[in-house]
Structure 1
């Protein structure tokens, strides 16, 4: 029987253990007097929250965090906000795992973005910025990106259909189709006409 490594175990192996190790690692620790329950809770949060990252992304995050220890000697675990910032830089967290952001699509805004043709671009904006596109500048950015994505998708699809595809065309079409499927799932079923 083979052992299957969990996401939590992988985060511990590639990120937490090397940062905590005093031998060749950073020797990260908690300030003296920190309750063991709080220590365990923080490391469990880290292991769970970062499970979406791939191996290389976890190694990149380890390098980033190693330079951002807290305290005078820079040997205490970084604040959660620091971890989130660098994790987002390595790869934005999928919106489906952010209920606060994903719920935006279930509101009136999801069907509105669908009708405007900006659904995928809106999802990508929210994943990257961890907030909906509130300002006029944000909305212009989303609209421009939606137009560019749609243009690239249409051109790539046409080349694939004609058998004259560039090397990355099929990948681009599949990528955009996956994003569209994810965004549509977030919006859910449209309300029935006449429903109050």
Structure 2
């Protein structure tokens, strides 16, 4: 890790400590008696690293939410890591770019199959929302349905631009730019060119 990477990681941790951890400690949260100081510090560092992607407002909201989620009979012990991360995801979804182990799905056989079927953008959006693949038949149906809708919309906007020289509505052009950029990004993931 370079010096600038270390500084960035430290500054992210410091921000999470200032907006989330220190206010919760001030509210009365403390380590469990069975945990040693080193284990508790590791927990807090892991927590800070895991929620550093969140905005300041998201961290403030998470703090308010967690302040009522203390564990133990006095409700003053830190909730478990999974509980905190679950609430963090409810406030702000973690970007998939920060979860390379999940993005490997697109480098597997599933990625080229999604690309060939024209549903690669929609599968990526499903992953962003649920952090899992659309393996259930109901999920697959929803993804395929969304792909058909978005492909139809993209075709309509492209035809308007070709015919009129611009999209009928500015937001349609913005959406098309986003859709095409997402399509290219996911294509690069599938081909192993994106990080």
Q: Same fold (TM over 0.5)?
A: yes
For residues 117-128 of structure 1, the aligned pairs below 5 Å read 117-128=118-129
Given the alignment of the two structures, is residue 163 of structure 1 paired with residue 166 of structure 2, yes or no? Answer: yes
| Pair 1:15–1:182, CA change in 2 (3 A) | farther
| Pair 1:81–1:166, CA change in 2 (3 A) | same
Bigger mean CA deviation after superposition, 105-114 or 93-102: 93-102
Q: Which consecutive residues of structure 1, in runs of 5 or more, have no partner in the other structure? A: 191-196
| Pair 1:135–1:173, CA change in 2 (3 A) | same
Given the alignment of the two structures, is residue 147 of structure 1 paired with residue 148 of structure 2, yes or no? Answer: yes
| Pair 1:118–1:42, CA change in 2 (3 A) | same
The structure 2 residue matched to 1:20, chosen from 16, 20, 25, is 25
Provide the alpha-carbon RMSD of the alignment. 2.5
For residues 63-142 of structure 1, the aligned pairs below 5 Å read 63-142=64-143
Counterpart of 1:184? Answer: 187
Deviations 1:100-121 (CA, angstroms, capped at 9, x unpaired): 3211111011111111111111
| Offset at residue 150 of structure 1 (A) | 3.0
Q: Which consecutive residues of structure 2, in runs of 5 or more, have no partner in the other structure? A: 1-6
Counterpart of 1:6? Answer: 11
Counterpart of 2:62? Answer: 61
Q: Is the 8 A contact 1:159 1:166 kept in 2?
A: no
Greater fraction helix: 2
Equivalent pairs, count: 184
| Pair 1:73–1:167, CA change in 2 (3 A) | farther
Q: TM-score, normalised by structure 1?
A: 0.81
| Pair 1:182–1:16, CA change in 2 (3 A) | farther
| Offset at residue 35 of structure 1 (A) | 0.9
* SS of equivalent residue, structure 2 residue 89: helix
For residues 36-51 of structure 1, the aligned pairs below 5 Å read 36-51=37-52
| Pair 1:9–1:73, CA change in 2 (3 A) | same
